[in-house]
Amino acid sequence: MLNVEFLNEKATKVNSTLKKLSNILQFGEDTFLKTPMYPDRTKYYLIILYDELEAIACHIVSNIREEKVKENCLEKLSQEGVFSEKLNRIFQDFVNFKKKLFEENFNYSDRELFHLSNEIVSTLQNFFIKELAAVVKQLKEKQPKLAIPVNLVKLNHHASTVKSEIKRLNPFKGMSEEEFINNNFAIDRSRYFIVVAIDSMLWMCRHVARQSGLKPSKDCFINLAENGILEQELAKKLSEVASLRDTLADPTKDIDKHYLFRLVKSEFEEIANGFINQIAYYIKHGKKAD
């Protein structure tokens, strides 16, 4: 989902870097070419600017394609057609500049650097923030309307954390029960991964309960079930795992290794995915799934 706070932060850094570049370029070409410090600083600020734009581009493209995009985002953004052709050309020029800069070990003509930098800076200053605001507005309008006013960015973050920790359990799923219970490394890592996932699920649970106007409860999962948000059976399983959180987090405390093996093998993944799916349905529809 769109993280406007993140985009605002990155856009502010873009503006700040553009001002620094503009302060150098305003002295003109002759001074730029005669002052060795200026080309060096310009390259430095351009790299910073590129990284900030790349971060913005990754977030925008990820939202457009509804999948996580982490690499070559500025180039991909230029191909999406959501910005003006003038900006798309600048994005592509910037991508080519970055490639050339690194491929040629920073050997870049100072005169060429000055004129390209001028074009990049002036175009971004004149068009980027205004067009970014329009793109963000369009993407926000396409986002699904929620029945429950939750912080979707943070909820997605914690849901991703849960799924990530489940994936980290995969190397241990292929073990036999005997192999697992006699492997201290597998037990130690499994305990840690499950604790991280539990913490994220507890955050999600408490946030949803709070945003739903429920009274605080010692057992958040049961509380959600009693208020028709989670299935009763799922809530019991979540409560059982969560009750072991402190024990799992303390390596000096014993844990039932056979139970831990069952969690790692499949039960924890089933419980966690069930929780995420039921929470997602609830915040979208305002009721438990039929």
Question: Model confidence over 40-64: pLDDT tens digits?
Answer: 999 999 999 999 999 999 999 998 8
pLDDT of residue 153: 76
pLDDT of residue 107: 66
| The two structure tokens encoding residue 64 | 């457009």
pTM for the whole thing? 0.63
Question: Model confidence over 91-115: pLDDT tens digits?
Answer: 999 998 888 877 666 567 899 999 9
Q: What is the C-alpha to C-alpha distance for residues 83 and 90, in angstroms, rounded to an integer? A: 11
User: Do residues 24 and 158 make contact, with C-beta atoms less than 8 angstroms apart?
Assistant: no
Q: What is the C-alpha to C-alpha distance for residues 47 and 243, in angstroms, rounded to an integer? A: 48
pLDDT of residue 130: 95
SS3 209: helix
User: Do residues 92 and 78 make contact, with C-beta atoms less than 8 angstroms apart?
Assistant: yes
pLDDT of residue 241: 97
| Ranges of the chain whose pLDDT falls below 50 | none
